[in-house]
Amino acid sequence: MIAEKEVGNKKVWLSVEEALIICHGLPYEPGSVVDKSYLDVAKFFSSRGFPSVIFDFTGTGKSKGSFSLIKWLEDLEEIAENFEKVSVLGFSMGGAVALNFEKAEKIVAVASPCSAEMFSEEGLERIYANARLKSTLKGLKDFESFKKQFLEEFYSIEPIKSVENLKCPLMLVHGTKDDVVPFYCSEELYRRARGKKKFLIVKNGDHFLRREERVLEKIAEWLKKVDEGVEELTL
């Protein structure tokens, strides 16, 4: 990718051929990823030698369009086309999207949901109500339309199926005290993955592991030197 920027009275071009694309989850609060801790995550990995890209998925933050999980996968593919090589770090629903991107050099999925079965009627009602109240997802209609679209689209990208087709190295990360996405999701994804795979179990970790520098350090270590097996980290 060639990025163009004005610096004083000078035109500057920055060439980046390899990147770590960071994918956010379903937003709970309004605003762009820049307003949240994702910018800190990007700075962290850039400082470790991984030029990082953050963005708002379609229908969220400062991006246009209506919310759609299928469009989220297309967003990732479109951004990745600007680089020669990309690895992907996805959090929560962003992890589910990442697990469908077969062209990645490496994938890290943190607290990713695994199957459509985990989304109860009550849970979807909470997601919908919060999105309407805080305007975190754009283009929503009535709840029944949202539920139908969400479940159909998630089923089409269901990580429990897509993970079996991945050929690149995979790292799964999950906190044992995650009260948003059940811990068993990463256990099942790890069991089904067929290639090189690593599972970092974060004891006492909650859903927001992007705020834990020790977890990010472990991810950076793995991106530098892929290893396999199960490892535990206690917070």
End-to-end CA distance of the chain: give it in Å, rounded. Answer: 37
pLDDT value, residue 222: 98
pLDDT > 70 in the chain, percent? 100
* 121: in domain: yes
* 12: in domain: no
pLDDT value, residue 3: 78
* 153: in domain: yes
Q: pLDDT, tens digit, for every residue of 149-194?
A: 999 999 999 999 999 999 999 999 999 999 999 999 999 999 999 9
User: Ramachandran region of residue 139, left (φ > 0), alpha (ψ -120 to 50) or beta?
Assistant: left
Alpha helices in the chain (DSSP H): 38-47, 69-80, 93-98, 121-134, 143-156, 159-162, 184-192, 213-224
d(CA 103, CA 87): 9
* AA letter at 140: L
* 58: in domain: yes
Overall domain count for the chain: 1
* 87: in domain: yes
pLDDT value, residue 16: 86
Asked whether 182 and 154 are in contact (CB, 8 A), the reply is no
pLDDT value, residue 59: 97
Q: pLDDT, tens digit, for every residue of 89-134?
A: 999 999 999 999 999 999 999 999 999 999 999 999 999 999 999 9
pLDDT value, residue 15: 81
Structural domain boundaries, residue 80:
19-234
User: What's 127's domain CATH number?
Assistant: 3.40.50.1820
Q: Which helix (H) or strand (E) holds 15?
A: strand 10-15
CA distances to 5, 37, 75, 95, 235 from 211, in Å:
30, 7, 24, 16, 12
Residue 14 pLDDT greater than 90, yes or no = no
Closest Cα partner for 116 from 178, 144, 158? 158
The mean of the pLDDT values for the chain is 96
* AA letter at 75: D
